[in-house]
Structure 1
Amino acid sequence: YRDLCLAANGFAQVFPEHKYLIVECLRELGYIVGMTGDGVNDAPALKRADIGVAVAGATDAARAAADIILTEEGLGTIIHGIVISREIFSRISNFITYRIAATLQLLFFFFIAVLAFHPSDYEQPPDVEDWPDFFHLPVLMLMLITLLNDGTLITIAYDYAEASTLPNKWNLKALFLTSSVLGFVSCLSSLVLLFFLLDSWNESGLLQSLGMKGVQYGQIITAIYLKVSVSDFLTLFSARTGPRFFWTIPPAPMLLAGATLALTLSSILSILWPSGTLDGIEVEGLQTNMGLFVFVWLYALVFWVFQDVLKVLSYKWMFAINFNDINATGVVVMPESAKKLIKEYDAAMEGHK
């Protein structure tokens, strides 16, 4: 009966066991089945379906067997519930994408920075204490990054989300690939900036060629803190729009306010951070080098745009090669046997005309 259940447009004069059989056939074919009903004769099928919906005024038996009970007349409430559930799915997907991307950026940046960058090997300003043998940020700065990050992330629950036109289905490989692209760009841009800052006293280095002066080690620490913070928060705006560019879906006021507050606090801290040492690491605010502050912000914005473009291209590539069956996600595909039966029914109907 499986192909028959798929090929038929509807069934009439069915008994309770027939309704149960139809639901069971569709479930055995691997489909997620929803069933609505209001009477005792619908209870077996309501219980067997993946999602049983008892309409308003249903009998106690139907209510007991159903997963969802409607309190308003009509079936339009089901459509509204589907739209809301898909919006929630979109927010959850955005949250996971951003969380993976942010975690990859932080973990790989600090891991690579500690192992690959040795400040003592770079040219240093004269008459200062030698720079340390390896690079790392003070624990307090790491805590501030994660604290402001988590505070901003809470607001994603209030963000605007568009319901997909097709049923949603998790594609974890595609999600992880997208997150990896976002995290990779953020991590790479932070590592490149760290190299430029450590190389700032080299007369043939990039910063010197741009007319900027050499950067003290304490300000290098603060500038990297600013860059990682800004990239972390901007990545959220790329992660929340899926395969589209970040400007296609405007952020909700709550999300925009949370991100603006976090970026403002990070910027103020990087400027006004008092000179001194944290965990034995020299730290100095950027108030005496506002040119570097502006440079870090512009640098982060440029790579953010590049990050978003690369994300969109990654989605286009995945759709083009049907990565992990991404094109079939949420799409009902009939087996060839059912399609053949439909053609036979259509031919038979034409013959009776």
Structure 2
Amino acid sequence: MGPKELSHDGPIVPRLAAIEDMAGMSILCSDKTGTLTMNKMVIQEETPVYKKGESQYSLLRYAAMAAKWWEPPRDALDTLTLNAVDMPSMSAVEQLAFLPFDPIVKRTEGTVKEISTGKIYKTTKGAPHVILKLVTSTNQNQKANEAITAAVEEDVHSFGLRGIRTLAVAKTNDKDQWEFLGMLTFLDPPRPDTKQTIEDSNKYGVAVKMITGDHLLIARETARVLGMGEYVKNAAQLPHLDPVTKKKPDLLARDYGNMCLATDTFAQVLPEQKYLIVECLRELGYKVGMTGDGVNDAPALKRADVGIAVAGATDAARAAADIVLTQPGLSTVVEGVLISRRIFVRISNFLTYRIAATLQLLVFFFIAILAFKPVEYMPSGWETIPEFYDSKEWPEFFKMPVLMLMLITLLNDGTLIAIGYDNAKARDTPEKWNLRVMFVVSSMLAAVSCVSSLLLLKVSLQSWQHGNFLRQFEVGRLSYGQITTAIYLKVSISDFLTLFSARTGPDWFFSIAPEWSLIGAAAVALLVSTILALTWPESTMDDVPIQGLAQGKPYDFIMYIWVYCVAWFFVQDAVKVLTYYLLKTFNVFGFNDTGKLVLPDSALRYIRDNKAKDLHSINASGSRR
């Protein structure tokens, strides 16, 4: 039922255990493009050119040559360039070779031939610092290299401060040397709901960290607009795999843990570093989610506790992920977290109740068998008392027919089926199992039910004694068969009512309205138990007398049993609330310890020691990184 409920809001869950992991997720590492942003590039008018005679349109045309323009666009950047050029004019050139985009190389390249002249040259588009390195490596003019480097870095820095992305375009000249033609500028606006979604995520105890391959300044500005925090790190400061063995650093969490915890945004990240960031956070003990869409995201998606393939992801990313989104954006992830937590709460409440119900039965019958000898409660001279209904001595010890125990269990199991559809309230912090707390709460619920059942058994066995408590309600002189049936009804009612206390966790039973299916199932079970207790034919089963409560005086005893059970239910719920209050107040068994990200003192010191230095580095030379 969990995957079905999640699928209504977009996520598909191939791995069922991911529901539990998502409920406990405390850190979400999110890709920027397409998840936090629209992934719809909007070209800007500002177009810095570095070669005389070039224009925005010529740059767009050269950029289109560094793509397979006759095919559907492969990504948002191809869509941007191909939609802006006159496609019939592209028939004037023929593409001879093509180098597709690689997240490590960060550029594409096309080798084209002009059909009219036969001239062959290469064009490329990509990240400015990558294209700049390519251009300067083939040009021996040091002065020209310094000039173009200064101009490009200044423009990239200027645009980056405004959150404007740049796409560099270059081509080879007659000497097969690369020339930096200019840069196209564009915006990838955030989704309208992203900022609110991030606020909601933080409210529910899930810290969102942005991991992007974009320039440091672009990432910083995007984080500022979305309210994600201002502490940014770039690839040079992040861990790397060993270049020879391709293994992670041996002391990854020790050396990089504080940085990964403190950093809000990771910029210019390589695919291998996504994996290492996730691994570092996991080694620190947090449950980490990771969103991705490409082949290179697969290792990080696989390593994360909750790998999330976003809408439109590649087959490799979908195969590596635990959850696949069918709708774009981060809002479906946050909604999935809440649904997962509600499912977790239902399971937790179910287990709490199941333990309580089992303990109630075991402890009650254990004590009843050892502590009560029904034969000792028979009135003296019972053979000569006309009102004494039984014709033989009561048993040496209390017991209940197996059939009655089976009925309690079967009706109980039938009711529990409906708990999967019950209303549940998602908590504001990540979920984690605390079995000691669960056992304590279950034990208190069971203790109240057990005590009330033992008290009723005691006063029922004493019904023939003068001054008995039941005599005040004009109830007394019960047959042993009626006592057996009364205890069966009491245990049944208490068992079912305990469910309504356990289902609300630390809150009062009336704080969360139960689903109608649960009410209906419980009502049927209680009605069946009551009718059986009223009309059970007089008989003997397993050497135990049984008699329906409607077959002899007192006729209204069943009403008093119901009132008695309901009164004890209020006591039981109050004890439960008090137990949770004490557990929370004194943090017993780590009750208040959730998986929520709370920066340790070491991470706060790291921010304090490095923030000024990093900020100066960003402002002074961000464009060179």
Question: TM-score if structure 2 supplies the norm length?
Answer: 0.55
| 1:100 is aligned to 2:355 | yes
Q: What is the deviation of 1:221?
A: 0.8
Stretch moving more, 41-50 or 283-292: 41-50
Q: State the match for 1:3 in structure 2.
A: 258
| 1:166 is aligned to 2:421 | no
Measured in 2, the distance between the counterparts of 1:146 and 1:21 equals: 50
Q: Match of 2:341, as an amino acid? A: R
Q: State the match for 2:598 in structure 1.
A: 333
Q: What is the deviation of 1:5?
A: 1.0
Q: State the match for 2:447 in structure 1.
A: 184
Aligned pairs for 1:6-17 (under 5 A) are: 6-17=261-272
Q: % of aligned pairs identical?
A: 57
Measured in 2, the distance between the counterparts of 1:19 and 1:73 equals: 21
Q: What is the deviation of 1:348?
A: 5.8
Aligned pairs for 1:34-183 (under 5 A) are: 34-124=289-379, 125=382, 126=385, 128-183=391-446
| Structure 2 gaps, min length 5 | 1-255, 620-625
Say if 1:347 and 1:305 are closer, same or farther in 2 by CA, change over 3 A.
Answer: farther
Q: State the match for 2:568 in structure 1.
A: 303
Measured in 1, the distance between the counterparts of 2:478 and 2:566 equals: 21
Q: What is the deviation of 1:347?
A: 5.8
Asked whether the equivalents of residues 286 and 292 of structure 1 are also in contact (C-alpha less than 8 Å), the reply is yes
DSSP-derived class of the 1:290 partner: coil
Measured in 2, the distance between the counterparts of 1:6 and 1:221 equals: 62
Stretch moving more, 314-323 or 36-45: 36-45
DSSP-derived class of the 1:130 partner: coil
Stretch moving more, 129-138 or 180-189: 129-138
Q: Which has the higher helix share?
A: 1
Question: TM-score if structure 1 supplies the norm length?
Answer: 0.95
DSSP-derived class of the 1:135 partner: coil
DSSP-derived class of the 1:136 partner: coil
Q: What is the deviation of 1:173?
A: 0.3
Equivalent of 2:280 in 18, 25, 28:
25
Asked whether the equivalents of residues 3 and 338 of structure 1 are also in contact (C-alpha less than 8 Å), the reply is yes
Q: Match of 1:310, as an amino acid? A: V
Aligned length: 353
Q: What is the deviation of 1:77?
A: 1.8
Measured in 1, the distance between the counterparts of 2:611 and 2:555 equals: 75
Runs of 4+ in structure 1 deviating by more than 4 angstroms, as ranges, are: 345-353
Aligned pairs for 1:315-330 (under 5 A) are: 315-330=580-595
Q: Which has the larger radius of gyration?
A: 2
Measured in 2, the distance between the counterparts of 1:69 and 1:350 equals: 37
Measured in 1, the distance between the counterparts of 2:407 and 2:605 equals: 62
Q: Match of 1:326, as an amino acid? A: F
Measured in 1, the distance between the counterparts of 2:270 and 2:281 equals: 17
Say if 1:148 and 1:60 are closer, same or farther in 2 by CA, change over 3 A.
Answer: closer
Q: Match of 2:315, as an amino acid? A: D
DSSP-derived class of the 1:69 partner: strand
Measured in 2, the distance between the counterparts of 1:189 and 1:229 equals: 12
CA RMSD in angstroms comes to 1.9
| 1:218 is aligned to 2:484 | no
Q: What is the deviation of 1:214?
A: 1.6
Say if 1:207 and 1:64 are closer, same or farther in 2 by CA, change over 3 A.
Answer: closer
Asked whether the equivalents of residues 23 and 33 of structure 1 are also in contact (C-alpha less than 8 Å), the reply is yes
Q: What is the deviation of 1:163?
A: 1.3
Q: What is the deviation of 1:215?
A: 1.1
Say if 1:344 and 1:228 are closer, same or farther in 2 by CA, change over 3 A.
Answer: same
Q: Which has the higher strand share?
A: 2
Asked whether the equivalents of residues 202 and 208 of structure 1 are also in contact (C-alpha less than 8 Å), the reply is no
Asked whether the equivalents of residues 33 and 49 of structure 1 are also in contact (C-alpha less than 8 Å), the reply is yes
Which string of whole-angstrom CA distances, capped at 9 and with x for unpartnered residues, describes residues 195-246 of structure 1?
0000111102211244323211111111111101100000000010000010
Which string of whole-angstrom CA distances, capped at 9 and with x for unpartnered residues, describes residues 65-103 of structure 1?
322222222222212221111111011111111110110
Stretch moving more, 19-28 or 184-193: 19-28
DSSP-derived class of the 2:267 partner: coil
Say if 1:238 and 1:321 are closer, same or farther in 2 by CA, change over 3 A.
Answer: same
Measured in 2, the distance between the counterparts of 1:143 and 1:60 equals: 51
Which string of whole-angstrom CA distances, capped at 9 and with x for unpartnered residues, describes residues 94-148 of structure 1?
1111110110111111111111100111143535422121111111111111111
Asked whether the equivalents of residues 203 and 209 of structure 1 are also in contact (C-alpha less than 8 Å), the reply is no
Asked whether the equivalents of residues 15 and 41 of structure 1 are also in contact (C-alpha less than 8 Å), the reply is no
| Structure 1 gaps, min length 5 | none
